[in-house]
């Protein structure tokens, strides 16, 4: 696990993993305005400053959650917070600015 601290996050790989796990959630923690500009189809937007409301959208703490933001800073904080409150399958996949796929 310690080695994961030095592994570069890859949103492209993370999105592929998300697509292959039944009932997994792709969580975008950018602001509502950023999300409205463009986002990955199928993602759930809960801005970082509203993350305390996540249990209303994702009540099962064993759900696989792939967290991203714009560049990776907010997603790291969000992933740490989610783990702290008991979600145990949380993956910080970095920033959408590195995403190579289509957005809507």
Q: What confidence tens digit (pLDDT) does each residue in 28-37 have?
A: 999 999 999 9
- Domain membership of residue 66 as a residue range: 2-98
Long-range contacts at 77-84 (CB < 8 A, ≥ 24 apart): 77/48, 78/27, 78/29, 78/48, 78/51, 81/51, 82/51, 82/54
Sign of CA pseudo-dihedral 56, 61, 65, 70: positive
Q: In sequence order, what are the beta bridge partners of 68?
A: 28
What separation in angstroms does the CA of 76 have from each of 9, 14, 84, 90? 10, 14, 12, 10
46 lies in some domain:
yes
Please state, for a pLDDT cut of 70, what percent of the chain lies above it.
Answer: 92
103 lies in some domain:
no
Our answer to whether residue 28 is catalytic in this structure is: no
Question: What does the pLDDT average to over 38-55?
Answer: 98
Question: What does the pLDDT average to over 65-69?
Answer: 98
Q: What is the mean pLDDT of the chain?
A: 93
Residue among 54, 65, 69, 78 flagged as catalytic: 69
The structural domain count of the chain equals 1
Whether residue 18 has pLDDT greater than 80: yes
């Amino acid at each position: 696990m310690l080695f994961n601290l030095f592994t570069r996050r890859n949103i492209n790989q993370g999105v592929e993993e998300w697509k292959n796990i039944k009932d997994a959630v792709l969580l975008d923690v950018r602001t509502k305005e950023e999300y409205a500009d463009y986002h990955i189809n199928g993602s759930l937007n809960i801005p970082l400053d509203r993350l305390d409301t996540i249990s209303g959208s994702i009540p099962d703490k064993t759900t696989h959650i792939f967290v991203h933001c714009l560049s990776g800073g907010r997603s790291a904080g969000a992933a740490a917070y989610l783990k702290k409150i008991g979600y145990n399958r949380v993956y910080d996949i970095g920033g959408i600015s590195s995403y190579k796929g289509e957005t809507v």
